[in-house]
Amino acid sequence: MDLQSFFGDTVQEAMASARRELGADAALVSSRKAGAEWRHLGEFEVVCTMSTSGTPVGRQTPPAPAAAPLEQTDQPQRASYLFHRLLELGLEASLAARIAAGARSRAMKQLTSRLDPPSTDDALIRSELKARVRTTAPLQWQSLLGQAIAMVGPSGSGKTTFAAKLAAQWLRGKPAPVRFVAADGVIPGSTGKLRLLSAVMHFPVEAAVSPPDLARLLTTPRQDELLIIDTPSLDAMGNEASQWIRLINKGIHLVILVLPAVLKPEDLQWMIGRYLAFQPASVCFTRLDETGRFGSSAGEALEAGLPFSYLSRGPRIPEDLEAATAESIIDAMFRSSRRTAESCR
């Protein structure tokens, strides 16, 4: 039996919409108060079937189904497919339910308007994600001269490597006036790593081992230069954390939160909560090459309202860095989940 759901603020209204869609012989199978996630479509849901002949009555020419799924899958079941597909991508249940609801109302709109050909489940999810994923434009050093940008994030997340990749991409064409500030010098060895990179890439590096040190550098910015500040992790800031936070909030034009995509969702959520103190403008996810569940990381950033700026897919400088687009984020969510499914076979 081909079942379809219709919604309205009264059962009569929902039935009227079923008859418009299926014809005057639309038969009511069941009716109920709409579940919370479908309430935006109407107070009541009626489940109807087509006339026994299978041909919608009142329609002159049956529409040619462009793709099978929407026409053949009954709607409540479809909502469940969408929800489970989103869980498979790694999204946490409440976000998955909201995105599934949005994807399903897209399907309903397509069904009622018949302007667009019906979409597959993945295409509906992609459209719904695209409406939610925000990205920032790739950084251009030319528009940042005289300013300072900072990378913040937990230790080992890839801040120094990201900063070096960014500078190396800028330096590729012609020399870009970039000066590095290794403010993560509280961790032995990390300043050394940046110095090594600077020797290869020919950009100057200064060390700032305390908030007053960094404050001094920030009060005298050169108008023909861009400062990239590589900061310590919150834990390494220790008792000086509030001083670092104040200084970074006040003196730095743009802050990027660098997070590894390999963390468990609950750890990532906790981490994002802590680093929001720095008021990051965007998030750069690293280690995409090492995760089979990018959806769970992307979901946490979506929930925190953070736009995506860059994706890092490996340690190579600068090849493994790309500017994020809504498409690349969504592709990465689908690709990494496929990788997990394949490795489980």
Ligand X SMILES: Nc1nc2c(ncn2[C@@H]2O[C@H](COP(=O)(O)OP(=O)(O)O)[C@@H](O)[C@H]2O)c(=O)[nH]1
The residue ranges that bind Mg ion (CB under 5 A) are 159-160, 184, 190
Q: How far is the CB of 264 from ligand X (least distance, A)?
A: 18
Of 73 and 309, CB closest to ligand X? 309
Q: How far is the CB of 318 from ligand X (least distance, A)?
A: 11
Q: How far is the CB of 166 from Mg ion (least distance, A)?
A: 14
Q: Are 34 and 14 in contact (CB under 8 A)?
A: no
Give the one entry of ligand X, Mg ion, none that residue 161 binds, where binding means its C-beta sits below a cut-off of 5 to 8 angstroms depending on kind: ligand X
Nearest to 20 by CA among 53, 56, 70, 67: 56
Helix H or strand E encompassing 209: none
Give the one entry of Mg ion, ligand X, none that residue 337 binds, where binding means its C-beta sits below a cut-off of 5 to 8 angstroms depending on kind: none
Q: What residues between 261 and 320 interact with ligand X by CB under 6 A? A: 286-287, 289-290, 312-315, 320
CA triple 218-199-216, angle to 5 deg: 15
Alpha-carbon distance of 314 to 317, in angstroms, equals 9
Give the one entry of ligand X, Mg ion, none that residue 128 binds, where binding means its C-beta sits below a cut-off of 5 to 8 angstroms depending on kind: none
Q: How far is the CB of 14 from ligand X (least distance, A)?
A: 50
Spatial neighbors of 269 by CB under 8 A, at least 6 apart, are 300, 303, 304
The residue count for binding ligand X (CB under 6 A) is 17
Give the one entry of ligand X, Mg ion, none that residue 45 binds, where binding means its C-beta sits below a cut-off of 5 to 8 angstroms depending on kind: none
Q: What residues between 142 and 161 interact with ligand X by CB under 6 A? A: 153, 155-161
Alpha-carbon distance of 96 to 102, in angstroms, equals 10
Of 91 and 182, CB closest to Mg ion? 182
Q: Strand runs (DSSP E) across the chain, as ranges?
A: 3-8, 27-33, 44-49, 148-152, 178-182, 205-207, 226-230, 254-260, 282-286, 308-312, 321-323
Of 96 and 258, CB closest to Mg ion? 258
Spatial neighbors of 109 by CB under 8 A, at least 6 apart, are none
How far apart, in Å, are the Cα atoms of 167 and each of 171, 280, 300? 6, 19, 28
Q: How far is the CB of 82 from ligand X (least distance, A)?
A: 31
Of 65 and 156, CB closest to ligand X? 156
Q: What is the number of the residue whose Cβ is closest to Mg ion?
A: 160
- Other residues' Cβ atoms within 10 Å of the Cβ of residue 196: 12
* Interface with ligand X (CB under 6 A): 153, 155-161, 286-287, 289-290, 312-315, 320
